[in-house]
Structure 1
């Protein structure tokens, strides 16, 4: 086993299965052992997902085995740590005795922050906080959580969709897992969905190239995130350069890659706002309950039938069955000479929820179903799974890809 800690009050080791072994020693070791076991079991009963779970108890030796909560979250600020410990007290009724950054970890597999070391923590009566004096500190700490998934269409030989979750910081970018969370400021979050088009393997190649381009260059947007006009220009340039790159690749093999193209729906989330860029018929939906608005698409399908539907000239049924619905007048690549991507900025009223999706989702679900889903109280992972399953079972011919993201303060 690998030693993680050897202190006066405890010794901690990590076994080859990734489990954590903790031995108690020193003053009141028996009481501290019993208290940490009780606290962790109480938190598990109350549904807290970001603390260790007890796997084995050995009271005779004053040691227990728990799940691994990751590595120390080096660099996390005191303000962010305060917000996490406040949430623990506010939502799960446990006050940590040492609410400092050293007791915050980050698990890259879970894509989230966790809290550890509860040997002197206090369980509050009825699971409610006795103090709310830290609420103002938390109200300025914003958290973004997301969940993404993609499923190959029933009639497709390959999945032509790709998605991206990218954490942006002053030091660069980090590719993120399909489920995760970050605390915004200084970190930002980029989410994107691309649906490829073209025969043979051209569609899969197109969407993969688009997402790779975004992953490589999105960090260049960080410095302008608070300047809406400059951000719009840089997003436009980012999409136009990816468009030119697709056409250049297709031109090298006109037999296999002629007409290769892709959609793109991208959201860049920074404190207080979200910038977006869009082209094609994937979609971006936004829900802001506090703004008293229904969830709505902030992107436009780039086909002429969409205009008729939104102008009230045709019904949603007529739009969904329109013979030219899949004929896009603007798309990346596709031998188009020039493009005009839709770009914009949405000031966020928190809490806010985003849904980015390919047309596999909108083929399977009517607008009222998407609106209803976004209004639900489900967490991002649960909502992702529900939307994916319902859309796929309803249609499923096309590839089905989506990202659900929630933006909120840490219970100020």
Structure 2
């Protein structure tokens, strides 16, 4: 049965890169996002080849397992096509692409995924990431070594562990089948969106219930407002709903939408133009798949970063505690330069410090017992002494005592 619902696809170069290496597809039953990698010449070729190979299986299937098999075979064929292309054009060696594909079969969604593009499901007001990123930092998150928030800003977040490339004719795909229902909103996107717009803002946009095209436009605008350092591709798929159903003409966006095919010039590192002055990074790959020995170096580097982070926290805590202790000691020392006159059981006493206490800690001590008995004082003077009289300096305290002795003693 042909999918009953509506969809939209949109792709943008972003604000930094000089070409769009993403490709997107929204058809009758099939929806795809592919994020190419491999520099100026390779990424757009890889994503375009993958989308066009998958486009050939956009038709109804009799069962979800049949669709799952077709997706797996099509993506594997795309990997072989990448290898054949590199044999003809060696300058493209090392190119690859992520692939996140969604096939609708009756009441089921069939998913195939490799890389770090993402598929989300928005259902009953909750946004859930359905696919798992095949990245180095995701492995760190899964092992509990860093938090998801730390992963968003990790310096190695673009290191892919799995990708559809020209070096592997049998890509390691994630494929699975899950039920879907009317009212579900599916979001497929490259990391140009998910790496800039966080899940709460994405969820809020999807919750507005606008048509897929307007929803995709709003998500793209948020990515651009956030700087859009990478290409941005968004595909929205609504199951059922009140918006117009699929028109019969698939939507192809990004590099795959070039009607004349993707131009494949030899890569020219550091190329700039008057449109993109001093933007060498615009032609550099947004992702790369490292060799095994490089991953070992990354793991060791991450261990060093974790150790350094712990050392930094400990050093910072020690510094704060040291400053706090120093401040407390300095404050205490200052209090010991002050004096006041008070009572100690039966006599008038000069105290060093201040009248306040901090819990069980006294900030004053007896400095000098005057031997003036409280019983020899008038009621008014004795009450004042018992309430303490601030003096400031030792000389001031002694003058207060002399005054008491001269006027009150032996009245």
> Given the two structures, how large is their TM-score scaled by the length of structure 1?
0.55
Q: Structure 2: 5+ residue runs without aligned partners? A: 244-411
Instruction: Tell me the CA shift for residue 409 of structure 1.
Output: 5.4
Contact conserved, 1:142 with 1:410, CA < 8 A, in 2? no
Q: Against the structure 1 CA distance between its residues 308 and 251, is the aligned structure 2 distance closer, same or farther, given a 3 Å change threshold?
A: same
**What is the aligned length?**
243
Q: 1:211 to 1:337 in 2, by over 3 A?
A: closer
Whether 1:223 aligns to 2:61 is yes
- The two structures, once aligned, show a CA RMSD in angstroms of 2.3
CA pair 410-398 structure 1, distance change in 2 beyond 3 A: closer
Aligned match of 2:18: 157
Equivalent-residue separation in structure 2 for 1:217 and 1:407 (angstroms): 20
Map 1:246-285 onto structure 2 (within 5 A). Answer: 246-254=82-90, 256-285=91-120
Higher-Rg member (1/2): 2
Q: Distance in 1 between matches of 2:106 and 2:242?
A: 13
Alpha-carbon shift at residue 310 of structure 1 (Å): 4.9
Q: Is the 8 A contact 1:273 1:347 kept in 2?
A: yes
- Cα distance in 2 between the residues matched to 1:233 and 1:239: 10
Residue 360 in structure 1 maps to residue 192 in structure 2? yes
Out of 170, 173, 180, the position equivalent to 1:341 is 173
Residue number in structure 1 paired with 2:121: 286
In 2, the alpha carbon distance for the partners of 1:399 and 1:198 equals: 14
Question: Counterparts of 1:10-159 in structure 2 under 5 Å?
Answer: 143-159=4-20
Q: CA deviation at 1:350?
A: 2.0
Shift of residue 377, structure 1, vs aligned partner: 2.4
Aligned equivalent of 1:408: 240
SS of the equivalent of 2:121 reads: strand
DSSP 3-state at the match of 2:5: strand
Change (3 A) 1:142 1:276: closer
The yes-or-no answer on 1:200 pairing with 2:40 is yes
Gaps of 5+ in 1: 1-139, 168-188
Please state if 1:244 is matched with 2:80. Answer: yes
Per chain length, whose mean CA-contact separation is higher, i.e. which structure has more relative contact order (CA < 8 Å, sep 6+)? 2
* Structure 1 residue 214 corresponds to structure 2 residue 49: no
Aligned equivalents of 2:201, 2:19: Cα separation in 1: 27
TM-score, structure 2 as length reference: 0.55
* 1:299 has 2:131 as partner: yes
Q: Is the strand fraction higher in 1 or 2?
A: 1
